């Protein structure tokens, strides 16, 4: 995701409270690693491209406020597999995250390029009017942000579901064919009454600009936007996500925004302004930097990224 004139604040990074959750996560990691090894063995960790799992085009409805996480085809390789016991627990609606609803928003859409009129339509984000959506960016070799974000979203969704959570995506597969608009993406989380929502992106900046940053909602009270109830919990969620993402991926905090904290506050993003549930964005790296793009196009690293996001969200939900 690229942007102009962001509002940069440098919120003081709060240490994520680990507590008993780390013991549970420590037990999970070996199983997740085994699942990753299986996934790599069947060819799921290749560089670039869309995930190889077959996802039905009907998985997301344009008329539905929240799309349920789609069932995978029997022939689709797993993105991560902590084990049959975890899968059974998730199916039964049990596990450490049972009863929790998480909305994952994979940024952009590969079909946006074919729908310029639709995505350039202006929508009200409270503070001002912006495009419905944008095309996103890509690596210099052509691996698109839209493909990257959906792949990480699938991996993250699998990890969350295996712990009993209900996962909803704002887009999946070929549906919708473009968008959704940023206003709709926020609405999906709101109508799902999500316990947490995260929008996954990769940045578009100059060569040499490296690292990740988590975008937190600033205080907005204008028009249809009122972030005051979610600013505190969203900042808590963002700090935990940043901590665990750094630990799992070893990706450094951004060297070009956030003053080294990995945290940036903005009030110009509709997906945050219109959210009524705790929500953050993450820019996992800069697709236009050669070092970052080498990570983003590597399947094993994307699995680590999903693991870091999972641990941060789980830590927030179990606080």
Residues 286 and 139: their CA atoms lie apart, in Å, by: 9
* pLDDT, tens digit (0-9, with 9 covering 90-100), for 169-198: 999 988 999 999 999 999 999 999 999 999
| Residue 23 pLDDT grade (very low, low, confident, very high; cuts 50, 70, 90) | very low
| Predicted pLDDT at 93 | 66
- Give the count of beta carbons closer than 10 Å to the beta carbon of residue 256: 15
Map residue 172 onto helix, strand or coil.
Answer: strand
| List of domains in the chain | 21-42+80-317 (3.40.630.40)
Partner residues linked to 100 by β-bridges: none
How many CA atoms within 13 Å lie on the side-chain side of 283? 31
| Predicted pLDDT at 134 | 98
Judged against a pLDDT cut of 50, whether residue 227 lies above it is answered with yes
**Whether pTM exceeds 0.85:** no
Residues 29 and 311: their CA atoms lie apart, in Å, by: 10
57 contact partners, CB below 8 Å, separation of at least 6 = 173, 174, 175
Map residue 174 onto helix, strand or coil.
Answer: coil
Residues 166 and 87: their CA atoms lie apart, in Å, by: 13
Choice among 184, 248, 283, 311 that is catalytic: 283
Map residue 132 onto helix, strand or coil.
Answer: coil
* pLDDT, tens digit (0-9, with 9 covering 90-100), for 116-163: 999 999 999 999 999 999 999 999 999 999 999 999 999 999 999 999
Respond yes or no: is residue 131 known to be catalytic.
no
For residue 126, the Cα-to-chain-centroid distance in whole angstroms is 23
């Amino acid at each position: 995701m690229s942007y102009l004139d962001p509002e940069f604040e440098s919120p003081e990074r709060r240490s994520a409270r680990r507590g008993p959750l780390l013991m549970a996560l420590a037990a999970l990691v070996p199983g997740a690693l085994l699942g990753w090894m299986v996934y790599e063995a069947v060819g799921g960790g290749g560089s670039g491209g869309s995930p190889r799992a077959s996802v039905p085009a009907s998985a997301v409805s344009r008329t539905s406020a929240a799309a349920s996480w789609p069932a995978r085809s029997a022939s689709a390789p797993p993105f991560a597999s902590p084990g049959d016991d975890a899968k059974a627990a998730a199916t039964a609606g049990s596990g450490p995250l049972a009863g929790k609803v998480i909305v994952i928003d994979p940024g952009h859409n590969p079909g946006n390029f074919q729908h310029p009129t639709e995505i350039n339509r202006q929508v009200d984000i409270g503070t001002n009017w912006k495009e419905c959506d944008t095309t996103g960016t890509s690596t210099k070799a052509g691996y698109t942000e839209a493909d990257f974000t959906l792949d990480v979203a699938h991996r993250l969704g699998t990890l969350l579901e295996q712990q009993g959570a209900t996962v909803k995506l704002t887009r999946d597969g070929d549906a919708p064919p473009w968008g959704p608009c940023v206003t709709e993406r926020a609405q999906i989380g709101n109508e799902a009454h999500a316990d947490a929502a995260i929008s996954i992106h990769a940045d578009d900046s100059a060569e040499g600009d490296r690292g990740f940053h988590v975008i937190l909602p600033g205080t907005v009270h204008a028009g249809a936007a009122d972030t005051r109830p979610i600013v505190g919990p969203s900042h808590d969620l963002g700090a935990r996500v940043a901590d665990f993402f750094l630990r799992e991926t070893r990706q450094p905090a951004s060297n070009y925004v956030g003053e080294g904290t990995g945290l940036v506050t903005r009030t110009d993003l509709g997906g945050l302004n219109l959210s009524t549930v705790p929500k953050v964005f993450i820019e996992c790296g800069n697709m236009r930097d050669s070092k970052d793009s080498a990570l983003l196009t590597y399947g094993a690293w994307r699995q680590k990224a999903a693991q870091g996001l999972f641990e941060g969200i789980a830590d927030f939900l179990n606080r």
